[in-house]
Amino acid sequence: MRISQLSAESGVAIPTIKFYLREGLLPQGEQTSATRAEYDQSHLRRLRLIRALLEVGRLPVAVIRKIIEAVEDEGTDIHGMLGTAHYALSPAPEPVPDDEDWRSAREIVDHLVADLDWHRVHPDAPTRDELAQTLVTLKHLGMPATRDDLLPYARAADTLVKEHDIRKIPLDGPRDTTVEALVICQVLYGKAFDALRRLAQESESARHFSTRPPADCAAAPEKGPSDEE
């Protein structure tokens, strides 16, 4: 297809497509004359991936380029390719302090990883440090942050990922599509879970603490009563 059709089918404006071509994010089409190039389904898939990385992952172009290099390098196995996207989507790790609290938090994390049989997680995965940092903050604020406190959360995460997240990633398709699904699944199912947890919290809070009847127990005090749908 011509660039105009690629734009129509992908919903990406022609100047933006040309920018991706210049940046090397989108492979050049097949040159059919001095001024014309032909594009195919692989270009459409790549535009979908770029859109997911930009709009869902909110990643900068330099990081997107790195992920696309891993997608294009057939020598990088699927785990390595997914890992590049995976780490790029994680919050930047904070500097690791050299103190006793941090070391003991990091030990809790390593024990949890062993408890859950996650021994394939890289020993230097920044996610380990990130979790240890959160445990240190919890402890400094006087909140429970032991291995036992974390274990039920770790078990729930393990079950959701093994039984549900992983099934949403197509394994036998093109590499672009696999990474696109990982990004969408990690970011959007993460957002969905967070919203579900807040709904459950509002429900529990109303059940335990509200002194008003259910239809009126708005958590938002500025809102008037309204009927259940």
Site residues (CB under 8 A) for a second copy, limited to 167-196: 168, 171, 181, 184-186, 188-196
Residue 226 as a binder of a second copy (CB under 8 A): the answer is yes
Residue 223 as a binder of a second copy (CB under 8 A): the answer is yes
* Minimum gap (Å) between residue 110 Cβ and a second copy: 6
* Minimum gap (Å) between residue 115 Cβ and a second copy: 11
Residue 121 as a binder of a second copy (CB under 8 A): the answer is yes
Q: Which stretch binds a second copy (CB under 8 A): 16-24, 36-44, 96-104, 217-225?
A: 217-225
CB closer to a second copy, 13 vs 195: 195
Residue 218 as a binder of a second copy (CB under 8 A): the answer is yes
CB closer to a second copy, 21 vs 65: 65
Distance CA 172, CA 175 (A): 9
Output b/e per residue, 119-136; b: 16+ Cβ within 10 A. Answer: eeeeeebebbbebbbebb
Distance CA 113, CA 207 (A): 35
CB closer to a second copy, 60 vs 80: 80
Site string for a second copy, 130-169 (x = CB under 8 A): xx--xx-xx--x-xx----xx-xxx-xxxxxxxxxxx-x-
**Closest C-alpha among 66, 111, 61 to residue 85:** 66
* Minimum gap (Å) between residue 27 Cβ and a second copy: 21
Measured torsion, CA atoms of residues 171, 176, 177, 180, in degrees rounded to the nearest 10: 110
CB closer to a second copy, 16 vs 76: 76
Do residues 78 and 205 make contact, with C-beta atoms less than 8 angstroms apart? no
Residue 119 as a binder of a second copy (CB under 8 A): the answer is yes
Q: Which of residues 55-84 bind a second copy (CB under 8 A)?
A: 56, 70, 76-80, 82-84
Residue 103 as a binder of a second copy (CB under 8 A): the answer is no
* Minimum gap (Å) between residue 8 Cβ and a second copy: 17
Do residues 106 and 129 make contact, with C-beta atoms less than 8 angstroms apart? yes
Q: How far is CA 220 from CA 15, 66, 213, 226, 229, in A?
A: 45, 44, 15, 12, 18
CB closer to a second copy, 8 vs 36: 8
Distance CA 173, CA 1 (A): 22
| Run of H or E including 60 | none
Amino acid sitting at position 19: F
